[in-house]
Amino acid sequence: MKKSLFVILPLLAIGGLTLAFRTRPDAEPAPAPKVYPKYKVSAFQPGERIVYRVHYGTVTAGDVTFSIDNQLHTYNGRQCYRFQVNGSSSASFDLFYKYRAAFDTYVDSEALFPWHYTRSTDEGSYHFEDRVYFDHQNNVIKGVKGTFQMPDNTQDMISVFYYARSLAFEKMTPGKIYKMPATFLDDKIFPGAFRYYGTEVIKTPLGRMKTHKVSPVLDDGSVFKGEEEMKIWISADANKIPVRITSPVIVGNVAADLKEYSGLRNPFAAIVE
């Protein structure tokens, strides 16, 4: 089982917005110097830490922690965030399925795309290591298994989580399809999109929250494995944190709920009375 519940939720929750495969054309040679996009980041900052509790049905499966290093780093002469994600199954869940994972990516602080990504996972008896370099100047990805052409601004499975938090959900139209950058995962490019449903108040372990509800769809606007499947609720405040992700699996359902947070850039204002 090479994609566990932990990879699906929440590591692929926002990445799921892009998981609709299509054949990609070869990239044209990029002009030099290349002009990269510039985003104004207002939803997160160095030092942020958010933790999710993952459930398989009524069983606690484990926790996943997303953290941003306390300082910016220089990579390829550019200032970068260092995003790290660590996931582990609970002691009781270890008895029948043990999971440990560590993800590390350096993401451009202006362009919000990755330069370097590593992944180490242990799922039962399966172990996987990956190391990926993103050459955005030449639209080339260099990975363990070879070199791949990529579209502009391609993301990895962690950087896309933070890229999504730069989106202006409050300006979106309910029912409309919105495109996302491509994501590189397991030696493939996954372009895609999501449907925005509007705002919704939901009950969570941390209280009632006002959220933006979205669901992955194919990049042509058609349904992603059934539109009633994966759902993502994002805090309707300046932090734009996914607070709940749900998705059916072969047997039952998997869910991830925001468990705790610290170091937020903005006051957490999504909780309602």
Question: For residue 220, what pLDDT is reported?
Answer: 53
The DSSP 8-state label assigned to residue 6 in this structure reads H
Give SS3 for 93.
helix
Q: Which of 262, 229, 260, 254 is nearest to 54 (CA)?
A: 254
Question: For residue 125, what pLDDT is reported?
Answer: 87
pTM more than 0.75: yes
pLDDT tens for the chain, 273 residues: list them.
334 444 444 443 433 443 333 333 344 444 557 899 999 999 999 999 999 999 988 889 999 999 999 999 999 999 999 999 999 999 999 888 899 999 999 999 999 999 999 999 998 889 999 999 999 999 999 998 899 999 999 999 999 999 999 999 999 999 999 999 999 988 899 887 899 999 999 999 999 999 999 998 765 544 444 445 789 999 999 999 999 999 877 666 889 999 999 999 999 999 997
Question: For residue 18, what pLDDT is reported?
Answer: 36
- Rounded distance between C-alpha atoms, residue 189 and residue 113, angstroms: 14
The ranges assigned to domains in the chain are 5-262
- Rounded distance between C-alpha atoms, residue 73 and residue 78, angstroms: 8
